[in-house]
Chains A and B, each alone.
Chain A
Amino acid sequence: MNPIEESAVVFEPTARLLHDLTAYVPRLIAMSVILIAGLILAAFLTWLVRRTLELSGFDSFSRRIGLSELLERSGIPSPPTRLAALIVRWTALFLVFLAALSALNLEIVNELVRRALDFVPNLLVAAVILVIGHLLSDFVADGVAIGCVNADFPLAGLAALAARLLVLFFFISVALSQLRIGQQIITAAFSILFGGLVLAIALSFGLGGKDLAKEWMEQAVKKKTQPPAEGKGETLSHL
């Protein structure tokens, strides 16, 4: 190998590296610009969301609908306004980060970004489903507890808990399906649990409580057709 060839061996990779680096410089500059602008935009969006929610009384509204309580119970003591601002901030930063990576125009990075963006809507929908499920489970459990107490049913607490769990289980199943996690297992588990529960109730009432049911129905019919005899039964007129 002559000296010229030797120098070519040394300089060629360096030149290639320099060439490649030179080619990437605009992309790196673009990435930096996106990152800096994105950070500023994220900070502005965070401020805007927080200010808007504060002015519109979002914290009071959240207290009224039970969202604050839900967050506290889940171990998140932040006021909902601050939490919403945090969510906006980190979502914005995440998107900025993805946009910045896209600026590099690397195949593997592009694929990663595409997949991440594909999953974001599912993640958001699953989160919304879980929040709705939690609120609805509270609503149903409260309704069952109140209804049972007003019907003088002693197992009101148990009935309310069962109703809450059933609603929660249903919504968690839907959320997991949305995230494409164990779809078939969840569907099967829900069907088995729900079907089993209905069957168990039907059997226990049908077999175990048939006499009780008969007696209760007879009393109900009697009550409907006959007013209480004088001196017997409660005759308090509330209105």
Chain B
Amino acid sequence: MIAPLSLPDQVESELKSVGTVDILVGIPSFNNAGTIGHVVNAATAGLHKYFPDQKVFLVNSDGGSTDGTREIVLKAQLENPNTLIVKHPLRHLARMSTPYSGLPGKGSAFRTIFEIAKRLKAKACCVMDSDLRSVSPEWVELLAGPVLIQGFDYVSPLYARHKYDGTITNMIVYPVTRSLYGKKIRQPIGGDFGFSGAMAEHFLSRDVWETDVARYGVDVWMTTTALTGNFRTCQAFLGAKIHDPKDPGTHLAPMLKQVVGSLFSQMEATFDSWKDVRGSEALPIFGFQWEAGLEPVNINTERMVSQFSLGVQELKGIWEKILSPQTLAEVLALLPAAPGGFAYPDSLWVRTVWDFALAHKKRVLSRDHILGALVPLYLAKTVSFVLETMQLTGKEAEARVEKLALNFEENKSYLTEGWEAKT
């Protein structure tokens, strides 16, 4: 039994005065003063426009921002309400900004949102990242609508993305999640989700709030929990997703360790749910799908190949402990390749990922080292994908991702057999 999260007295009394709500929008934040005003306004507009008759509430769960994020949330107002074509007069949207308690991270921020949703008996909730530049009022309808109107429990996002945007998702998280749990859920770690009050209560009841889930692994954990708990799940097409710019090169290794580490940990925790699953099925999709104009992505493939080459030179001994002899031999044979002819075959990549998952489960090395050793291999697969799809359209590149995901499904027995083997 998990002890209920205690909220600050002021929050408690504010919630008592609110009573119950139909829809709750949650926005986790940490020093997002530059973007959160837009997210709050978009959510406000969405609630006014699409849910005028529902009782709604907006909560910002903040991690101790020092740049005035919380003040912006409380003061944000639609600059020109006339931009919304609605019959009814706009009401003031009840909102709250509260610091969360617990381990610092998005998961703890979400826990506070779940707790507030539970106290307010919210029927439908949605959460949106606070560093988004592309969020529009329609997101609220698309994330909360399927729950409120169609009775779904969990709404996962679908975005229009550049073919090279989200390569960790495309090369690892999507195909692994799909092959494990048998659902074609395209953005398992999208960051923006819709869920029912019952789902929020279920999240709260899980004993994970002192683990990495509270820090950074909450996205994949929520998706996995929904899929393995047989909650009704669907996807909603939200259009383009544009974040605050970050330097991807600097953050790659820690980011990959966090994402893939969380994925592998979930894999370990849910073995009984996925061991017998074969194949995959599509999920219902809401929202009109359109081709968004996407910003070009610059990729330095030479630098990525050189990093892989450095890995071959220096990490062979470590890979020996993780990869099967055959997989290692094939990986080492990838170099030297003709310029522009570098190719990491799908079947080899699938075995690479499964070998890393098995090594992570069996702790053949420190888990941090295992995940760190995956980075050069991931870069190699990404380069291979980029070179292969350079002349392809977004749709054609997406078909390549689907082909890779299918390969993961077809070779799942490699994982299950290794998982159950004694050594």
Listed in ascending order, the chain A residues whose CB lies under 8 Å from chain B are: 60, 63-64, 66, 139, 142-143, 145-152, 154, 156-157, 160, 223-224, 227-228, 231-239
Contact = CB atoms under 8 A, between A and B. Distances in A.
Given A64-B364, A146-B373, A235 B311 contact: no
Nearest to B247: A223
Contacts of A66: 321, 365
A226 B264 CA distance: 34
Helix, strand, loop or mixed for chain B's interface?
Answer: helix
A171 B248 CA distance: 39
A210 to B, nearest CB: 23
Contacts of B250: 223
A238 B314 contact: no
Interface in B144-190: 164-169, 189
B314 A64 contact: no
B403 interface: no
A239 B259 contact: yes
Nearest to A148: B314
B194 interface: no
A66 to B, nearest CB: 8
Given A142-B369, A150-B376, A156 B314 contact: yes
A227 B248 CA distance: 10
B375 A150 contact: yes
Of the four ranges (under 10, 10 to 19, 20 to 34, 35 or more), the interface on chain B belongs to 35 or more
B245 A227 contact: yes
B84 interface: no
B252 interface: yes
B169 A239 contact: yes
Contacts of B306: 152
A64 B370 CA distance: 13
A238 B299 contact: no
A18 to B, nearest CB: 65
Nearest to A155: B314
Instruction: Specify which of A64, A150, A152 lies most central, judged by the most chain B CB atoms within 10 Å of its CB.
Output: A150
B93 interface: no
Interface in B206-264: 243, 245-250, 252-253, 255-256, 259
A151 B372 CA distance: 11
Given A146-B318, A239-B259, 7 more contacts: A145-B314, A146-B315, A152-B307, A232-B298, A235-B299, A236-B297, A239-B168
A235 B249 CA distance: 9
A156 B316 CA distance: 12
A152 B310 contact: yes
B298 A157 contact: no
A147 B372 contact: yes
Contacts of A150: 252-253, 307, 372, 375-376
Given A60-B423, A139-B366, A145-B315, A239 B298 contact: no
Contacts of B255: 238-239
Given A149-B314, A157-B313, A237 B252 contact: no
B16 interface: no
A214 to B, nearest CB: 19
Given A64-B362, A146-B318, A236-B167, A152 B253 contact: no
13 contacts: A60-B423, A64-B364, A145-B315, A147-B253, A150-B252, A150-B375, A150-B376, A227-B247, A234-B298, A236-B298, A237-B165, A237-B166, A239-B189
A-B complex: 6 closest residue pairs judged by Cβ atoms: A227-B245, A146-B372, A150-B253, A156-B314, A238-B168, A235-B298
A135 B371 CA distance: 19
A232 B310 CA distance: 25
B363 A64 contact: yes
B336 interface: no
A151 B310 CA distance: 10
Contacts of A233: 298
A11 B295 CA distance: 115
A236 B310 contact: no
A55 B192 CA distance: 49
A236 B164 contact: yes
A201 to B, nearest CB: 21
Contacts of A146: 315, 318, 369, 372-373, 375
Contacts of A238: 166-168, 248, 252, 255-256
Nearest to A138: B365
A66 B189 CA distance: 34
Contact of A152 (B246, B248, B296, B303): B303
A234 B245 contact: no
Interface string B352-372: 000000000011111011001
Contacts of B300: 234
A151 B297 CA distance: 21
A235 B315 CA distance: 27
B314 A157 contact: yes
Contacts of B296: 231, 235
Contacts of A232: 298
A157 B423 CA distance: 30
Contacts of B363: 64
Given A63-B423, A64-B362, A235 B297 contact: yes
